[in-house]
Amino acid sequence: MARFYAIIVALFLLIWGGKDWGALKAQELEYALELGAMGGPSFYMGDAQLSGFYKNVTMAGGAMGRYNITPRMALKFDLGFGSVKGNAADEKNQFPDMPNKKWNFNNSLVDVGCQYELNFWGYGMGNSYKGHKRLTPYIQMGLGFTYCNKALTMNIPVGFGIKYKIRPRWNVGIDWSMRFALGDKLDGIEDPYRIKSGFLKNKDSYSWTMLYISYDLCPKYRKCNN
């Protein structure tokens, strides 16, 4: 993962310092698609870790794509790889079936999903007369699937982030989400407290904090100068 961050920094310096021959034209365009890479820390919350943000942190990463509906709205698609890690001995609660709480795990997972994003301001570069900003925060919510511990379950990602257009076609951002699984098997044990489960009650979840870089594709329109 250290190599991933080194590549991100190198790309940032190259893009920021490089000369964009089409900058004047590109600044007037809006792009329909983005493709990029992401990576960052992850943590789990569930039966073996009921509280404590960024505890038993692991690393996650993957690919992301974004379909820009308008400068204010987008659909983001991601394919990520990570893990959930915990140790029941760190919790004060007692499990009825495991009085000694000798239970720790580090399970790999695959996550695929889609989130609807709503930008606080219109996102773009070169269209300031429309109120577009190079920097904007956003909120997000969506639906996804998690494959972990030989089980497939749906998840509901909810979060927020901030994106910045460093060049006419290059974007960087930080994206935080909590992914609420609709299953209770990510950590390898189901309902150790013997509590009746509900829609999101007594389920596992995990959080991703992703740094990403993306490139714009597919101009929506081009102005005719003839």
Residue range 46-63: mean pLDDT, rounded: 86
Q: Would you state the pLDDT for residue 132?
A: 84
Residue 159: DSSP 8-state: E
Give the confidence band of 22 by pLDDT, cuts at 50, 70, 90. very low
Residue type, 29: L
Averaged confidence pLDDT in the chain: 82
Report the candidate in 83, 85, 96 with the shortest Cα–Cα distance to residue 49: 85
Query: How far is it, in rounded angstroms, from Cα 69 to Cα 30?
Result: 10
Q: Would you state the pLDDT for residue 118?
A: 98
Query: How far is it, in rounded angstroms, from Cα 32 to Cα 111?
Result: 24
CA-based end-to-end distance of the chain: 49
Q: Would you state the pLDDT for residue 1?
A: 55
Could you tell me the pTM of the whole model? 0.79
Tokens, residue 218: 């597919």
In the chain the domains, ranked by start, together with CATH numbers, are 2-16+31-219 (2.40.160.20)
Residue type, 116: Y
Per-residue pLDDT tens digits for 170-195: 999 999 999 999 988 887 776 656 56
Query: How far is it, in rounded angstroms, from Cα 59 to Cα 144?
Result: 19
- Three-state helix/strand/coil letters over 106-127: EEEEEEEEEEEEEECCCECCCC
Query: How far is it, in rounded angstroms, from Cα 141 to Cα 17?
Result: 35
Q: Would you state the pLDDT for residue 20?
A: 45
Residue range 2-31: mean pLDDT, rounded: 52
Residue range 38-62: mean pLDDT, rounded: 88
Coil, helix or strand at residue 2: helix
Q: Would you state the pLDDT for residue 91?
A: 63
Per-residue pLDDT tens digits for 64-119: 999 999 999 999 999 999 999 987 766 666 666 665 556 788 999 999 999 999 99
Q: Are 136 and 161 in contact (CB under 8 A)?
A: no
100: CB partners within 8 A, 6+ apart: none
Residue range 199-222: mean pLDDT, rounded: 86
Q: Would you state the pLDDT for residue 138?
A: 98
Between 224 and 182, the more confident residue is: 182
Percentage of the chain lying above the pLDDT 90 cut: 53
With 0-12 CB in 10 A as exposed, 13-18 as middle and 19+ as buried, what is 168?
buried
CA angle 148, 150, 156 (to 5 degrees): 35
